Amino acid sequence: MEYRNLGGLEVSAIGLGCLPMVGYYGGRYDKKAMIALIRRAYDQGVTLFDTAEVYGPYISEEWVGEAVAPFRN
């Protein structure tokens, strides 16, 4: 994974957009499946996750938080 400097933070060059996870473009996806997807992305080096309070509202932020909580250092 390549990384870039974004406002003083080093983030992955590839990010994961979380808007579709909460059903913005259709039906909402399964929470367990989305948490697994987020963890898989993190395992592959993704550190940039696009969330916003209006996604759900707040659902994408909660799911990303739950998914990466075990990886905190």
Active site residue 55: yes
Burial (0-12, 13-18, 19+ Cβ within 10 Å), 19: middle
Give yes or no for a contact between 22 and 55, defined as CB atoms under 8 angstroms apart: yes
Check 3, 25, 42, 55 and give the catalytic one.
55
Task: Cite the active site residues.
Answer: 55
